[in-house]
């Protein structure tokens, strides 16, 4: 078609292709004797200085807490009872040896207490938690049980009360 204008996109494409061809680096022959004769220094491995690096690497596991003369310790920590309580559920400690009872805020202002690491009959635990909080506060709190993730949520902040109650039970 003689006399028609090329669209702007087509012109830019042609200009970019010409620029790419012009900007290509020249091909270098790697088999030349000057590139092959270059000597590089070897790698030196220093085992003597690795002790400074080892200090920075965190330990793979959390150490077992030491035995104390009396419990609770000054920080308030207590170990679980040696024979676990004879209940249809168990609450395992977190990897830092603490009770897995946490507070959570969802939707900006909904205050929740979360109990994690539950093994066994979670419905019996929910009933026991409801009974304990009803005796303590006079009202039955709303709870949510997630059987897949084995998490119990309680509406409101009851973390201190639930932690002390779980310690009394032997968890």
pLDDT in tens, 16-36: 666 666 666 666 665 555 555
Q: How confident is the model at residue 63 (pLDDT cuts 50, 70, 90)?
A: confident
If DSSP codes are grouped into helix, strand and coil, which group holds residue 72? coil
pTM greater than 0.85: no
Tokens at 15, concatenated: 């200009």
Cα separation, 64 vs 93, in Å, equals 12
Query: C-alpha distances in angstroms, 39 versus 31, 34, 35, 36, 103?
Result: 15, 10, 9, 8, 63
Q: How confident is the model at residue 114 (pLDDT cuts 50, 70, 90)?
A: very high
Q: Residue 1 pLDDT more than 60?
A: no
Which tens digits make up the pLDDT trace of 42-56?
Answer: 787 778 888 888 889
| Amino acid 37: pLDDT | 56
Which tens digits make up the pLDDT trace of 67-110?
Answer: 999 998 998 899 999 888 999 999 999 999 999 999 999 999 99
| Amino acid 41: pLDDT | 74
| Amino acid 151: pLDDT | 98
Q: Residue 165 pLDDT more than 70?
A: yes
Tokens at 169, concatenated: 């039970």
Mean pLDDT, all residues of the chain: 85
- Pick the more confident residue, 167 or 26: 167
Task: Give, for 17, the enclosing helix (H) or strand (E).
Answer: helix 8-23
The highest-confidence range among 11-15, 58-62, 146-150, by mean pLDDT, is 146-150
């Amino acid at each position: 078609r003689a006399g028609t204008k090329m669209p702007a996109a087509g012109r830019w494409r042609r200009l970019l292709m010409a620029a790419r061809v012009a900007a290509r680096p020249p091909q270098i022959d790697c088999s030349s004797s000057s590139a092959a004769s270059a000597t590089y220094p070897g790698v030196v491995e220093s085992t003597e200085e690795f002790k400074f690096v080892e200090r920075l690497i965190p330990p793979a596991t959390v150490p077992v807490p030491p035995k104390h003369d009396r419990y609770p310790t000054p920080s308030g920590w207590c170990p679980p009872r040696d024979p676990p309580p004879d209940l249809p559920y168990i609450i395992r400690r977190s990897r830092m040896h603490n009770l897995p009872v946490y507070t959570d805020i969802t939707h900006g202002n909904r205050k929740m207490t979360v109990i994690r690491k539950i093994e066994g009959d979670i419905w019996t635990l929910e009933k026991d938690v409801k009974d304990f909080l009803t005796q303590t506060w006079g009202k039955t709190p709303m709870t949510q049980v997630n059987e897949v993730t084995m998490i119990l949520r309680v509406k409101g902040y009851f973390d201190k009360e639930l932690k002390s109650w779980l310690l009394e039970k032997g968890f």
